Chains A and B, each alone.
Chain A
Amino acid sequence: MSALLEIRNLGISFGGLRAVHDVSFAANPGEIVSVIGPNGAGKTTLFNMISGVYRPGAGAVVLDGRDVTGMDPFLLARLGLSRTFQNLQIFQNMTVLENAVAGFHLRESGPLLADLLNLPSTRRRARAAEAGARALLERVGLANAAEREAGALSYGALKRLEIARALALEPRVLLLDEPAAGCNAVETEEIDHLIAEVAASGVAILLVEHDMKMVMRISNHIVVLDHGEKIAEGKPEAVSRDPKVIAAYLGPDAAALHEGEVAHA
């Protein structure tokens, strides 16, 4: 049986610099796969390739058995792949509610003429999307901020708004790029629960996150990148003991030290 999302030998270079090279892994429904690695390891670049923002230089992205390599994000959205961004991509010119409603675009859009004339069919579609958006805002704890300008929200709240917008698509695969960055401990825990809940509903989740405690706690599978290459992969416990991973994070000396400690013990 093939996986829901398969990443095959993906690679890209920017002006001779090999940002990501030969990375492969897979994700199944209900699974949380985390991509970790030091800063500049190529995690966000990898996400950008999977979500169609960058066209990969090599390799393939296969979604549900279909090759979707380099497909535009708006087409991927139709196939059930959605994402959030490390550097927030919020519609600053709209309210919080409208940001969430925008996530329902695929379901709420209809004939242009109906929209221009505000026909009952348009009002019906817009009402349904708004109800859905309010429910999602409730779920991420932003129901009270619905009518506010999105730009006025705190960083942590905007992170949750992005998640709500991505969930509005009812994705089968969800890419979360540092969802807990800039959030306090309480917010991080809330996001933590939310991610687990979404995964439990059968969504395959790809996660990039620097909060190691969170990653170790909720991931089913971890992929470790360093200098654009996959250096380890496996269950959280296995990855956290891998000397190559420790070396990547703390330098080779620390890895040797760690080895020594293990030998002494």
Chain B
Amino acid sequence: MTTKRATLLILAAIVIVSPFFFPSNYYYRVGSLIFVNALAVTGIVILTGYAGQVSLGHAGFAGIGGYACALAPVHLGLHPGLAALFGAALSGGVAWLVGRPILRLRGYYLAVASLGLGILVAMVLANEAWLTRGPDGIEVPDLGLNDALEAIGIDIRNTQFWYFFSGLVMVVGAWIALNLHDSPTGRALRALHGSEIAARVVGIDVARLKLRAFVISAVYASLAGSLLALQNKFITPDVAGFMHSIEMVTMAVLGGAGSVLGAFLGAAILTTLPQVLTVFQEYEQILLGLVMMLVMIFMREGLLPSLARRVRGREK
């Protein structure tokens, strides 16, 4: 079986089977948060794991996606679902505008520029209160899909609906990322990660491909932000905050930046920990830094690839 099929089967199985072990409704909520985070981290896998580029401002795109769902229905009269797509297009457009000049330069300029972009988005969301209602957040209209399901006789609780819907979007996101991995574009991304000069020599337009990876990953983050806003029916500027960007990168690095299944694992661990350990909530910043350092020192490829290597090594 190919890695791609195995990964998709495992993810789908997790989404479907886990609820049988849920002691209460609360767990649907945690599961759904994991899926949303895994979706955003899958975008980081494409940008960092495939193409080797680092962004420290991806929460900015999650903010754009989240607030699009709050604002576009009110001001543009868009259906909340369409608002999410509008947010994704907007995020992609902003990523393109910012990435185009930056990605022509070699080095870590993207990390710095995206950091600035993320902070900028967070500040606009917090300060332009006439539009966003400021730091306290804003309510988000209902997606209406749950009601539609009810109308055709499928009656599930709201938390359950969002659990399965987020799970579905995450699996589709994983499918697309895995498609990309083995496609000519994905191969070119991984090639420029391996050796930029050799990539240019075989005809790869390095700047253009990095830009594509950046835009795609921005769309992932944006959709994750939209999903979060829609299921909470509320959104605050924290979604675009610097800590959220760092969280995404840490999840990817912890699970294994090159692996889609690793993205899920990293998201699952770092989403669950604060729920079970209140300590984690209080010291989140310190612990995220600690996790990042330990991974870099002891398993630079991340949890999943390192474990896989160890298992394979034992088989030999």
Interface residues of A (CB under 8 A from B): 51-53, 72-74, 77-78, 82-83, 85, 89-94, 98, 101-103, 105-106, 108-110, 112, 114-118, 122, 125-126, 129, 165-166, 168-169
CA distance A125 to B184 in the complex (A): 8
Q: Is B200 an interface residue (CB 8 A)?
A: yes
Contact between B200 and A102 (Cβ–Cβ < 8 Å)?
no
Instruction: Give the residue name and chain of the A residue nearest to B196 (CB).
Output: A89
Say how far B171's CB is from chain A's closest CB, in angstroms.
15
How many cross-chain pairs have Cβ atoms below 8 Å apart between A and B?
A: 106
Say how far B55's CB is from chain A's closest CB, in angstroms.
19
Contact between B195 and A91 (Cβ–Cβ < 8 Å)?
yes
Contact between A101 and B200 (Cβ–Cβ < 8 Å)?
no
Q: Is B103 an interface residue (CB 8 A)?
A: no
Contact between B201 and A51 (Cβ–Cβ < 8 Å)?
yes
> Given A51-B201, A74-B200, A165-B202, are A101 and B187 neighbors across the interface (CB < 8 Å)?
yes
Contact of B191 among A94, A118, A122 (CB under 8 A): A94
Say how far A138's CB is from chain B's closest CB, in angstroms.
19
Contact between A115 and B183 (Cβ–Cβ < 8 Å)?
yes
Contact between B201 and A115 (Cβ–Cβ < 8 Å)?
no
Contact of A109 among B179, B184, B258 (CB under 8 A): B184
> Given A73-B201, A82-B201, are A109 and B206 neighbors across the interface (CB < 8 Å)?
no
Q: Is B225 an interface residue (CB 8 A)?
A: no
Contact of A93 among B176, B193, B206 (CB under 8 A): B193
Contact between B191 and A115 (Cβ–Cβ < 8 Å)?
no
Contact between A93 and B194 (Cβ–Cβ < 8 Å)?
yes
Residues of A within 8 A of B193 (CB): 93
Instruction: Give the residue name and chain of the A residue nearest to B206 (CB).
Output: A74
Give chain B interface residues in 173-226, CB to chain A under 8 Å: 176, 179-180, 182-188, 190-191, 193-195, 197-206, 212, 216
Say how far B248's CB is from chain A's closest CB, in angstroms.
21
Say how far A174's CB is from chain B's closest CB, in angstroms.
11
Residues of A within 8 A of B188 (CB): 102, 105, 109
Contact between A126 and B200 (Cβ–Cβ < 8 Å)?
no
Contact between B184 and A73 (Cβ–Cβ < 8 Å)?
no
Say how far B246's CB is from chain A's closest CB, in angstroms.
25
Contact between B200 and A72 (Cβ–Cβ < 8 Å)?
yes
Contact between A169 and B202 (Cβ–Cβ < 8 Å)?
yes
Contact between A93 and B184 (Cβ–Cβ < 8 Å)?
no
CA distance A110 to B185 in the complex (A): 8
CA distance A46 to B180 in the complex (A): 37
Contact between B204 and A74 (Cβ–Cβ < 8 Å)?
yes
Please report whether the interface of chain B is mostly helix, strand, loop or mixed according to DSSP: helix
Instruction: Give the residue name and chain of the B residue nearest to A126 (CB).
Output: B184
Contact between A93 and B190 (Cβ–Cβ < 8 Å)?
yes
Contacts A102-B204, A105-B204, A112-B185 known; 7 new A-B pairs at CB < 8 A: A93-B190, A102-B191, A102-B202, A105-B191, A108-B184, A114-B183, A126-B184
Instruction: Give the residue name and chain of the B residue nearest to A116 (CB).
Output: B176
> Given A73-B201, A117-B179, A169-B202, are A105 and B184 neighbors across the interface (CB < 8 Å)?
yes
Instruction: Give the residue name and chain of the B residue nearest to A111 (CB).
Output: B185
Return the 3 tightest CB-CB contacts between A and B, nearest first: A91-B194, A77-B203, A115-B183
Contact between B186 and A115 (Cβ–Cβ < 8 Å)?
yes
Residues of B within 8 A of A114 (CB): 183
Contact between B205 and A74 (Cβ–Cβ < 8 Å)?
yes
Say how far B100's CB is from chain A's closest CB, in angstroms.
16
Contact between B184 and A116 (Cβ–Cβ < 8 Å)?
no
Contact of B187 among A53, A73, A102, A118 (CB under 8 A): A102
CA distance A165 to B203 in the complex (A): 11
Contact between B203 and A91 (Cβ–Cβ < 8 Å)?
no
Say how far B135's CB is from chain A's closest CB, in angstroms.
37
Residues of A within 8 A of B185 (CB): 109, 112, 115-116
Contact of B179 among A89, A92, A115, A166 (CB under 8 A): A115
Instruction: Give the residue name and chain of the B residue nearest to A129 (CB).
Output: B184
Residue pairs across A and B with Cβ atoms less than 8 A apart, 9 shown, are A53-B197, A74-B201, A74-B205, A77-B200, A89-B197, A90-B198, A102-B202, A105-B188, A165-B202
Contact between B180 and A90 (Cβ–Cβ < 8 Å)?
no
Residues of A within 8 A of B191 (CB): 91, 94, 102, 105
Instruction: Give the residue name and chain of the B residue nearest to A72 (CB).
Output: B200
Give chain B interface residues in 144-195, CB to chain A under 8 Å: 176, 179-180, 182-188, 190-191, 193-195
Say how far A43's CB is from chain B's closest CB, in angstroms.
17
Say how far B115's CB is from chain A's closest CB, in angstroms.
26
Residues of A within 8 A of B194 (CB): 90-94
CA distance A129 to B202 in the complex (A): 13
CA distance A79 to B90 in the complex (A): 36
Contact between B195 and A90 (Cβ–Cβ < 8 Å)?
yes
Contact between B179 and A102 (Cβ–Cβ < 8 Å)?
no
Residues of B within 8 A of A53 (CB): 197
